[in-house]
Amino acid sequence: MQADLCSDCGTDNSQYGGTSHSSLSSPSRAPNTKWCTVPLDHFGFATNTTFKIKYLECDDYWDMGGGPIFFYTGNELLTHAAWSYVACANTSQWLRQSWNLCGPTNSPIDVEFLVQFLKSMYVRTAMVNYPYASDYVMPLPAEPVEIICQYLNESLTDKKLLEAIGKVILVFVNNQKECLNYTEGASYRFEHIIGWSFQACTEIITPMCATGVTDMFEPSPWSFAEHVELCHNMYDVYPRHDMARIEYGGARLEAASNIVFSNGLRDPWAAGGILKDINDSVKAVVLDDAAHHLDLMASNPADPPSVKMARHVHKDNIRKWINEFNNNCDNEREAL
């Protein structure tokens, strides 16, 4: 196809001092095939890996005395190759078989459901990255992130990349035999998401976005207007933008008391957590090696030291609050 492009590149170059294509014969020789070496990632400097791009050189009709240069090497390489490849209609049937999907991805809506499922898969796996097998949210093995990363720890492209993601999906669905109903999107096997999504429409608005640059997802800007429309369509409610600040104080917690904010840094939600003490009564506990509220789960022999420490902090603070309350009650009774 590029050879045709090259031979037709002078459709009308008379305005540049050349000759119109209609008066020209076919090129006297085949275009030259050449290669140029370019960085694999030209937006960052984490690797020096390069690859070669082929281009065709045809200068039969070029005015070497000052004619314009037309240069075409192909489309921009997509950093997030998986997202674009999923959206390719030519891979629909192959994806259905390789990923054991219940149906093909024939329409843009199908593709959107599948992409939302994949995003949710990565986020939820990170959220419940526990050191032991757990069925919280959904059944997953111990250290699920470590398991899925073994399939994605090298540079992969095209079907090799999608085959690796297929192995990740098998881990996420616990090697189920039945087909994957990807049309559930982000709600896949997340029965209690209805309660959470209603709360996110009424009490706690959690803006989420992706830039496609600082994360592994497609660009997805946050839109409060779209969130309002979604909440109204789903629950016939209109969220209040500042409800969390009014109800709970937002970031102005200096006057609060008797709170311990604990956050595991393995948990993506920790990015919006309170990670520093606010005052003597509002404390922050940061767990370097824990996922989503692991310290509030039942104890397990695989619990890391930070989780055991956090539980002691919780118990000490609760005991302190109870004692303070009892002492205040005793003082009030004596005053009477």
Angle ∠(198,203,208) on CA atoms, nearest 5: 75
Interacting residues of 296 by C-beta distance below 8 A, sequence separation 6+ = 262
Structure tokens at 107: 């329409």
> Percent of the chain, pLDDT > 70?
74
Of 264, 251, 262, nearest in space to 315 by CA: 262
Of 112, 236, 130, 285, nearest in space to 183 by CA: 112
Dihedrals phi, psi of 231, to nearest 5 degrees: -65, -40
Q: Is the pLDDT of residue 135 over 80?
A: yes
Instruction: For residues 72-96, give the mean pLDDT.
Output: 55
Which among 152-156, 201-205, 259-263 has the top mean pLDDT?
259-263
Q: What is the pLDDT of residue 266?
A: 92
Look at the alpha carbons of 272, 273, 277, 279 in this order and tell me if their dihedral is positive or negative. positive
Structure tokens at 296: 């509030």
pLDDT band at 331 (very low <50, low <70, confident <90, very high): confident
Instruction: For residues 239-268, give the mean pLDDT.
Output: 85
Q: What is the pLDDT of residue 66?
A: 56
* Class of residue 109 by CB neighbours under 10 A (exposed 0-12, middle 13-18, buried 19+): exposed
Question: Using an 8 Å Cβ cutoff, are 153 and 218 in contact?
Answer: no
**How far is 236 from 228, CA to CA, in rounded Å?**
10
Of 291, 293, 307, 295, nearest in space to 126 by CA: 291
| Tens-place pLDDT, residues 259-298 | 999 999 999 889 888 899 999 899 999 999 999 999 999 9
Of 95, 91, 18, 3, nearest in space to 55 by CA: 3
Q: Which one of 1.10.20.10, 1.20.120.980, 3.20.20.80, 3.40.1440.10 gives the CATH number of domain 82-235?
A: 1.20.120.980
Instruction: For residues 44-67, give the mean pLDDT.
Output: 63
Q: What is the pLDDT of residue 249?
A: 77
Instruction: For residues 74-88, give the mean pLDDT.
Output: 48
Instruction: For residues 55-79, give the mean pLDDT.
Output: 51
- Per domain, the residue ranges of the chain are 2-77, 82-235, 252-335
pLDDT band at 167 (very low <50, low <70, confident <90, very high): very high
